[in-house]
Structure 1
Amino acid sequence: MTTGNHSELPQTVQEWLELDKKYRIKGRYDISQVLVRGEGVRVWDVEGKAYIDFESGQVCASTGHCHPAYTKAIVNQAGKLVQTGSGYTSPSRILLAQKLADIMPGNLSRSYFACTGSEATEAAIRMAKVYTGRTEIVALTRGYHGMTHASLSATGLGGKFKSVPGSGLPGFTHIPTPYSYRSPYKDDQDDMAAFRQGIETIRWTTTGKPAAIILEVVMSVAGMIIPSKQYVQAIREWCTQTGALMIIDKAQSGVGRTGKWFAIEHFDVIPDIITTSKSLGGGIPLCGVTTTPEIADRVAELGYHQSSSHTDDPFLAAVGLANIEILEREKLVQNAEVMGRYLKDEFEKIQAKHDILGDVRGLGLMIGLEIVQSKSSKYPSPQHASAISEYCRANGLLLGHRPTGAVSGNCIRILPPLTLTYEEAEEALSIFRDAVAYSESTVEAEFADGTAWM
């Protein structure tokens, strides 16, 4: 047993990182910063340096860091009741489910709550299997759905994502992602070619009758890849024809970030199940699975129940409800649309001036920037992307970028809080413009692994 002497705490970032290495099991990424405070779009490290946070924490802080009404809700509910057993419910849990029913598309009005996006994926997959009586699940290559066994099996990313023994459960099939910037088809815009190939894959590798297709309509971890409306509508039609359920994973693109409450609304499609997490709770661990009364009632009749230690926690529900109410009251969903359009326009101006910014794509405040060696080659350049990210961090801007990311580490994700103002956006853009110019003039990129961009 070790005992820590808290009378002499570390004072610098480096000292804290040394202590962190001693006691923490290493995660997916190397840690380079120690943050202690946040307010609005900014966070501060242990040495007092401020940063504009264009990651919103882990894509959670949609109302900004430590919004006064958000922190007030935390304190208020913590002083009343934090946790109950799963055999009970509470007003906050009922009201959160009612609020979700109000803002969800179509007749999606029955919700289950737990803590993480991975839990939500697991619950949705189980629900689909019970409802249909089928066992197979179809997902997209490059898609990300979580790190538990079934959610990781649905995840269409290789390498470190599949390095855990047993991470690929049987019954999961992956179909091609429509990726217009790097389409393998003759027509770069032909998402329907990917759809037809996907249906052929299902035909030849499954029974042809899966329980569900699960997909993101803004593929965040993959670098903000967005399928066309035609593609998403074709998936919906195919599900209806075959009796498969359509599960839309909104862990990262839900609850206002794209300029609508849920990204699927951009596609004029109503799925059978929507999963939410991250910005649903605004920072506290909260996820949801929402479906129709028909599906909810039927799976209950068949004996399905999904439970968790925190299924009906009044604390989590109260904070999640307060978070949505802030988004409504301050019209932050509308602000996401306006500020997202502004940022995208500005990034496209930067793209026009610099050969290493190959593609700009996104919806609302969910924008992807694909960094390449040159626009003509489209070769991914994680070296340029890393230089941009490091320059920005050194100058007070945190970007959504990891050198070992899902697309050769050459995609930068822009995910600021929905409270973003023009002044804050311009401050961040000024740093980013300098970072791109610096990267383009100083970095000599090496040839990237071709498997990432085929």
Structure 2
Amino acid sequence: MHDERERFLIRYAGGFAPFVVEKAEGAWLLTTDGQRILDFTSGQISSTLGHNHPRIVAAIERSLREVLHLNSWMLSEDVLELARRLAELLPAPLERSILLNTGSETNEVALRLAKSFTGKFEVVGLTRSFHGLLAGTNSVTFSMGHQGYGPLMPGSFAIPAPYEYRCPIRHCVRSCDMTCLDVGFDLVDQASVGSLAAMIVEPVLSTGGIIPLPAGYLRAAKQKCEERDMLLIVDEAQTGFGRVGSMFAFEQDDVVPDILTVSKTLGGGVPLGATITSAEIEQKAVDHDFLHLTTHVSDPMPAAAGLAVLDVLAEENLVERSRKMGGYLTERLRGLQEIHPQIGDVRGRGLLVGLELVADRETKEPANELGGAVTAECLRLGLSMNIVKGDGSQRNCLRLAPPLTITAEEIDFAVDILDTALRTCVAGLSEP
């Protein structure tokens, strides 16, 4: 198997798992060599309902019998119904959608809409952000992917992420007062050529280290944008459709973005995303000959899967379940923090939780070697989670994002494995 990987596949993210998956169901994976693994990453944080949920399978099977793919200017009933359902879920004026495939693509479209609507081109993002690795989105992804690929898009600005545990401007202690936002925009204003189009932000910087925006941050960011005639784009690829304990994370800040992007959690494991905006923004962009076209825009089959996801979220009350189980997971992890001094911080929202490992709680020195060792040991013991790399200098934050259908018993199983892995790896690394 190792030879096949080396011979036939392009390695795209540092390598592959040391096993091959035969079957996936619920929160569990079964490998070809018979190992059962509890998946606390929900696939690529996409299997909101767990792997191979029967309702998603049934929706796909129906689509295969009725209509799988169409020319991009032809629409199916499922596409129209999903667009209608999304508008019903969202506050005014968010009502017009384009159905796409990946988060990178939804953000690319959002940037194009913002530039078309405003007639400007500069975009502000946060350090530690991840919005995709396409040409435009990579330019405002500040956690990785910049070195070795040539120039970024002109007019791409980064401001400091509100990382409470490690204040980037050495100002706050444990509680962010958003000075970083003020200072960041002061710098942007001085560097701008007067063509600020949009700010793009994740409510929880997931790849950046599970950094939830502090209460009120999105509202303050929206005000900064309005003062400069910019649009606010909120990227809810990982936080939308219940994962953080509300249907959308922006609702927790009582603010409505100008453009919303969703993906991962909408498809339940199927490639599906949407860029959603107001009638005003859509109309002006169309008046300016807005263009975005891919082979699988508005495809029927992913739309059918998305409808199934929305149905199950409502019928099984999974948003509330995410809030409850997220609270239980955080409680169990904070219990581990009390007995493991290597756990410097536990943070997150709902079922998107980060656990940051440190060599010393006083200095907060990142325990990078321990992070890698614990992740590998957890996988050996039957728990899959991953390290998020922040700004690239750290490899010490463990990300836990189980499906919304996770049970308390499965959370206990995962935390027990994590406890064992920490004890084993700390002892191993401390040996002479």
Q: How big is the alpha-carbon RMSD for the aligned residues of Structure 1 and Structure 2?
A: 1.6
Moved more, 178-187 or 266-275: 178-187
Equivalent residue for 1:177, pick from 157, 161, 171: 161
What is the correspondence of 1:397-412 to structure 2 with a 5 Å cutoff? 397-401=383-387, 406=392, 408-412=394-398
Distance 1:366 1:148 in 2: 25
What is the correspondence of 1:128-207 to structure 2 with a 5 Å cutoff? 128-158=114-144, 161-166=145-150, 168-183=152-167, 184-188=169-173, 189-207=175-193
What is the correspondence of 1:17-416 to structure 2 with a 5 Å cutoff? 17-32=2-17, 33-158=19-144, 161-166=145-150, 168-183=152-167, 184-188=169-173, 189-401=175-387, 406=392, 408-416=394-402
Distance 2:342 2:263 in 1: 33
Contact 1:226 1:362 in 2 (8 A): yes
Moved more, 54-63 or 233-242: 233-242
How big is each residue's C-alpha offset from its partner over 1:317-341, in whole Å with a ceiling of 9 and x where there is no partner? 1111111211111111111100000
Task: Tell me how far 1:406 sits from its aligned partner.
Answer: 3.9
Distance 2:240 2:194 in 1: 30
Distance 1:341 1:167 in 2: 43
Moved more, 299-308 or 250-259: 299-308
Moved more, 407-416 or 129-138: 407-416
Distance 2:164 2:321 in 1: 28
Rate the CA distance shift 1:394–1:331 in 2: closer, same or farther, 3 A.
Answer: same
Task: Tell me how far 1:402 sits from its aligned partner.
Answer: 5.9
The alignment covers a number of residue pairs equal to 428
Moved more, 147-156 or 179-188: 179-188
Point out where structure 1 has 5 or more consecutive residues left out of the alignment: 1-15, 446-454
What is the correspondence of 1:410-425 to structure 2 with a 5 Å cutoff? 410-425=396-411
Q: Give the secondary structure class of the aligned counterpart of 2:366.
A: coil
Rate the CA distance shift 1:93–1:311 in 2: closer, same or farther, 3 A.
Answer: same
Distance 1:167 1:278 in 2: 28
Rate the CA distance shift 1:438–1:105 in 2: closer, same or farther, 3 A.
Answer: farther
Contact 2:128 2:390 in 1 (8 A): no
Task: Tell me how far 1:400 sits from its aligned partner.
Answer: 2.1
Task: Tell me how far 1:303 sits from its aligned partner.
Answer: 1.2
Distance 1:440 1:31 in 2: 25
Letter paired with 2:179:
A
Moved more, 225-234 or 362-371: 225-234
Distance 1:215 1:242 in 2: 16
Distance 2:367 2:403 in 1: 27
Letter paired with 1:75:
E
Rate the CA distance shift 1:404–1:68 in 2: closer, same or farther, 3 A.
Answer: same
Distance 1:191 1:88 in 2: 49
How big is each residue's C-alpha offset from its partner over 1:99-157, in whole Å with a ceiling of 9 and x where there is no partner? 11121233211100111111111100000000001111111111000011100001012
Contact 2:209 2:388 in 1 (8 A): no
Distance 1:331 1:41 in 2: 18
Contact 2:139 2:156 in 1 (8 A): yes
With normalisation by structure 1, the TM-score equals 0.91
Letter paired with 2:396:
N
Moved more, 425-434 or 101-110: 101-110
Distance 2:311 2:55 in 1: 9
Point out where structure 2 has 5 or more consecutive residues left out of the alignment: none
Letter paired with 1:303:
D
Letter paired with 2:274:
G
Task: Tell me how far 1:269 sits from its aligned partner.
Answer: 1.1
Q: Give the secondary structure class of the aligned counterpart of 2:292.
A: coil
Task: Tell me how far 1:245 sits from its aligned partner.
Answer: 0.2
Distance 1:236 1:433 in 2: 41
Q: Give the secondary structure class of the aligned counterpart of 1:51.
A: strand
Contact 2:109 2:292 in 1 (8 A): yes
Contact 2:245 2:351 in 1 (8 A): yes
How big is each residue's C-alpha offset from its partner over 1:406-440, in whole Å with a ceiling of 9 and x where there is no partner? 45111100000100011111111111111122222
Distance 1:339 1:326 in 2: 17
Distance 1:306 1:136 in 2: 19
Q: Give the secondary structure class of the aligned counterpart of 2:337.
A: helix
1:430 aligns with 2:416: yes
Contact 1:42 1:50 in 2 (8 A): yes
Contact 2:206 2:388 in 1 (8 A): no
Task: Tell me how far 1:443 sits from its aligned partner.
Answer: 1.8
Moved more, 188-197 or 358-367: 188-197
Distance 1:352 1:208 in 2: 50
Task: Tell me how far 1:441 sits from its aligned partner.
Answer: 2.4
Task: Tell me how far 1:306 sits from its aligned partner.
Answer: 2.0
Q: Percent identity?
A: 34
Task: Tell me how far 1:401 sits from its aligned partner.
Answer: 2.1
Task: Tell me how far 1:187 sits from its aligned partner.
Answer: 2.5
Rate the CA distance shift 1:167–1:106 in 2: closer, same or farther, 3 A.
Answer: farther
Rate the CA distance shift 1:29–1:91 in 2: closer, same or farther, 3 A.
Answer: same
